[in-house]
Structure 1
Amino acid sequence: MTELGTAPAGAVLRHRRGWYLYGWGSHVFPTIVVTVFMGRYLTSLAENAVGKAGRVSVVGIPVAPGSLFAYLVSFATVLLVVAMPVVGAIADRTGAKREILLGFGWLGAAACVAMFAVRGGNWQLGAVLFVVAFLGYSCATVVNYALLVDVSGTAERDRVSSTGWALAYVGGGLLLAGDFLLSLFLDDKALLARISLCSAGLWWALFNLRSWQLLAGLPRTEASSGAEPVLLAGFRQLRRTLAGVRRYPLTVAFLLAFLVYNDGIQTVTTIAAQYGDKELHLDDTVLLSAILLVQFVAFGGALWLGRLAERFGAKRVVLGSLVAWLLLVLAAYLVRAGTAWQFYLLAVGIAVVLGGSQALSRSMFSRLIPAGSEAEYFGFYEISDSGTSWLGPLIFGLAYQLSGSYRSALVSLVVFFVAGFVLLARVPLRAAICQAGNVAPDRV
């Protein structure tokens, strides 16, 4: 584990600001692209092509337009099951964390800018660009999460992680506020979606430039010598890690719990706008303002849960948040169509627990990683934290295709929060930290 004491205090603070700023800039992807616009816009494009009751053909497989986005997310995440741990292994082996982080960040941003060209019934182009952006964002996030170890000590990690999440929500919220204002003057919903998706890419790319400057001089591992290609070396390193992970069964137990409950969290946030549009029949003004509200309430929620973690321990706070998530999903099922105030209340409830449950999960996992393998292990972690995982969207898509009801599909996600709570409660976190060779804070 990186010892912050070996680096000048000024350099550590500068790197921390660069780390915060990358989250500030990149969070527009899960906020604006995934949560607000792409799901609804891609569904509309598919419906334009084949009709609401029709089927689009994806490599010869008939897919309902309402299930297309969920299936697409599942497909992209399956690709990441292999890609992200390898990217993490390469980052750990080469030490080029800044270059890998921002290289993938710019790839994702460029794909978002190109989404301005998606129009009419051309859902295929939108699907390809979304997958590219999704891969870029997710592979960058592997390295971004690993950098938490480089910019914070063990005792302050819950606070730094929570602050990072809080600032990321503000960054995404400010651009979303601009999209909301634009929606008041622009009646063309398709054009609004195209402008918003493109501006998200521009925002992301712009703040990457400043992060590049602030992250200069990050601690680097000793690059391995030899003529072996770095990609092959990454696969070899991944194989060694998979063989060695058996020495840390408690880390694996935590990761399994996280993969389950975070699958539910990410699926809820991904389909929220689609649910409000297609099931509750709320207009764009309500949807955008509700999701905008989430960004700024989540800022306070992340900081609040971070402070609770300092008092009660991160594990207890996350377990409490999972109970809240379960109640929120059940409440969403009861929201009446066309009732905006109920949707706003639901949005506030989600916002309070959203950032904190994610930030504290990240800081908990960072303590369970053996030294020198941070990016690699976060590759496994990010499989479920890349904006969505594959199983939740798949179950949601199947439930909708079989029932034709978004409400029934939403209730299918309850199992993730129940199972995740049980699995996390069984993990002895302090023992897991010691097993990984790290020092446990006073409260875990």
Structure 2
Amino acid sequence: MSVVDSSPESAGTAPERLREQRGWCWYDWANSVFPTSVGTVFLSGYLTAVAKVEAQADTARNGPNACADSSLQQCDISAFGVHFPAGSLWGYLLSIATVVQVLVLPVMGAIADRTQNKRRMLGGFAFAGSLATAALGFVGGSDWSLGVVLFILSNICWGSSVVVYYSFLPEIATPDERDAVSARGWAFGYLGGGIALAIQLALFIGHDAVGISEATAVRFAFVLSGLWWAGFTLIPLSRLRRHQAPHGGEHGAGIIVAGFKELGQTFKSARLFPLTLAFLFTYLIYTDGISTVAGVSAQYGRDELKLDETVLISTILIVQFVAFFGGVLHGWGAKRWGAKRTIQISLLVWIVVIGFAYFVQAGQQFQFYGLAVGIGLVLGGTNALSRSLFSQMVPPGREAQYFSLYEIGERSTSWLGPLVFAGVGQATGSFRLAIISLVVFFVVGFVLMIFVPVRRAIEASGNPVPVKV
């Protein structure tokens, strides 16, 4: 294996590193529009509505059925001979997209490490994903199946690009720079995602003023998301460069075969780094709690607190913009106390925030806004420092592969938090008890974090230990 020195010091002078770091942060800004605008806000409702049109057309062809009712759960659609309610389409689609990512991302990470064509792969995945995202703007009528295919393609490209993007972090920042760079990128991502979403929501809310329908406004949002993602990706591509020599000389289809071999070697060698895996396991527990709180907060506000959609939309924007300051604050905390201790403080804040959520009174929108501020302060920063801390524990030369494990681990366990929330809600009939039950993820994560010997884990992976960990 031929590998050049991949230490950040080999990247050149401090100004040269800073130029790459600033360019790197722009990809957080570029890609955040996809999970925020497409995944969280617009596509779920739009695709479900398109599926209902197909179900109603099927009713017209085959005679009356339950879809005459206005409930989406009683409007059946079919795929590959399987019938299911239109209202369940989004949940099934997320599950399928996650499974596909779990299968694809490790191989993409191995290929990235093997070829070291990270910059080219980042651009390829970003542009292909942004094209598929923009193409969602052509989904209309009853063609929900086209939307399914485009979302799966864009989701694969987004996940693959993020794996490659993360793998640059150990190469462009010294151990002592890494927490600040990661936090800055994450904060920048929330700011970019928030600005893009604000523009799209302004068009959506004011669609009558510009003479378009709600559906057309949503389709414009998809096109804007694709253009935003592709356009801002040009900035990191202009600044990032190769830091390692290829691990092999394969070309064409041989790269894929070599990627599988490289992945097999990584799985075999992973057991030699048990402390890295211990941190990864701890992270997967508390990040499941984080993603669940972010995912169910709108449902909690709508169904338990009886807040209207305007309040919920405003809350999404509050979280996005406050998360920018939260990311910066976490970067400052890591510089002062180290990443591990700052993550632990952040987990304690999460526990307090969820406790506050339990006591928010129905109909009290300003209390809900206060909850949004609390979530925003810790939402991005916790994951940003987890990303940088994990990068310290990754064996040199296998950055993309380990970050693919990081990403698929997060997706593979993301079912547990929603299951707890839904199960407690069903068993007790109360979303308040369901939301407070999520505290367990943060308590367990905090306790396990105490026992992760971060300094030893970094040393065992063969990396230099930063002054503050």
| TM-score in same-fold range (> 0.5) | yes
Q: Counterparts of 1:346-361 in structure 2 under 5 Å?
A: 346-361=371-386
Q: Which residue of 2 aligns with 1:39?
A: 44
**CA–CA distance in 1 between the matches of 2:343 and 2:206?**
41
**CA–CA distance in 2 between the matches of 1:278 and 1:123?**
27
Would you say 1:178 and 2:182 are equivalent positions? no
Decide whether aligned partners of structure 1 residues 411 and 117 sit closer, same or farther in structure 2, where only a CA change above 3 A counts.
farther
Decide whether aligned partners of structure 1 residues 132 and 338 sit closer, same or farther in structure 2, where only a CA change above 3 A counts.
farther
Q: Which residue of 2 aligns with 1:443?
A: 468
Amino acid at match of 1:419: V
Amino acid at match of 2:124: G
Conserved 8 A contact 1:87-1:234: yes
Conserved 8 A contact 1:16-1:151: yes
Decide whether aligned partners of structure 1 residues 114 and 431 sit closer, same or farther in structure 2, where only a CA change above 3 A counts.
same
Decide whether aligned partners of structure 1 residues 119 and 104 sit closer, same or farther in structure 2, where only a CA change above 3 A counts.
same
Q: Which residue of 2 aligns with 1:204?
A: 229
Q: Which residue of 2 aligns with 1:232?
A: 257
So what's the TM-score if we normalise by structure 1? 0.89
Q: How many angstroms does 1:16 deviate by?
A: 1.6
Conserved 8 A contact 2:358-2:436: yes
**CA–CA distance in 1 between the matches of 2:23 and 2:459?**
30
Figure out how many residues of one structure are paired with residues of the other and give that number: 443
Q: How many angstroms does 1:310 deviate by?
A: 1.7
**CA–CA distance in 2 between the matches of 1:328 and 1:40?**
28
Conserved 8 A contact 1:329-1:414: yes
Quick check: 355-364 or 194-203, which moved more? 194-203
Would you say 1:292 and 2:313 are equivalent positions? no
Would you say 1:419 and 2:430 are equivalent positions? no
Q: Which residue of 1 aligns with 2:33?
A: 28
Residue 101 of structure 2, aligned match among 69, 77, 80: 80
Would you say 1:92 and 2:113 are equivalent positions? yes
SS at match of 2:271: helix
Conserved 8 A contact 1:105-1:136: yes
Would you say 1:105 and 2:126 are equivalent positions? yes
Q: Which residue of 1 aligns with 2:6?
A: 2
Q: Which residue of 2 aligns with 1:219?
A: 243
Amino acid at match of 1:416: F
Residue 155 of structure 1, aligned match among 176, 200, 204: 176
**CA–CA distance in 2 between the matches of 1:126 and 1:407?**
34
Decide whether aligned partners of structure 1 residues 106 and 160 sit closer, same or farther in structure 2, where only a CA change above 3 A counts.
same
Conserved 8 A contact 1:15-1:151: yes
Conserved 8 A contact 1:177-1:292: yes
**CA–CA distance in 1 between the matches of 2:287 and 2:279?**
12
Q: How many angstroms does 1:239 deviate by?
A: 0.6
Decide whether aligned partners of structure 1 residues 331 and 118 sit closer, same or farther in structure 2, where only a CA change above 3 A counts.
farther
**CA–CA distance in 2 between the matches of 1:113 and 1:8?**
38
Decide whether aligned partners of structure 1 residues 180 and 281 sit closer, same or farther in structure 2, where only a CA change above 3 A counts.
farther
Q: How many angstroms does 1:38 deviate by?
A: 2.5
Q: Counterparts of 1:254-265 in structure 2 under 5 Å?
A: 254-265=279-290
Q: How many angstroms does 1:159 deviate by?
A: 0.7
**CA–CA distance in 1 between the matches of 2:205 and 2:136?**
22
Q: How many angstroms does 1:284 deviate by?
A: 4.1
Conserved 8 A contact 2:136-2:147: yes
Conserved 8 A contact 1:306-1:356: yes
Q: How many angstroms does 1:425 deviate by?
A: 2.5
Conserved 8 A contact 1:18-1:210: yes
**CA–CA distance in 2 between the matches of 1:251 and 1:46?**
44
Residue 126 of structure 1, aligned match among 136, 142, 147: 147
Conserved 8 A contact 1:39-1:271: no
Amino acid at match of 2:115: T
So what's the TM-score if we normalise by structure 2? 0.85
- Residue-by-residue CA offset, 1:74-101 (whole Å, 9 max, x unaligned): 3322222221121111111100001111
Residue 165 of structure 1, aligned match among 182, 186, 197: 186
SS at match of 1:247: coil
Would you say 1:17 and 2:7 are equivalent positions? no
Q: How many angstroms does 1:110 deviate by?
A: 1.5
Q: Which residue of 2 aligns with 1:343?
A: 368
**CA–CA distance in 1 between the matches of 2:436 and 2:36?**
23
Conserved 8 A contact 2:194-2:320: yes
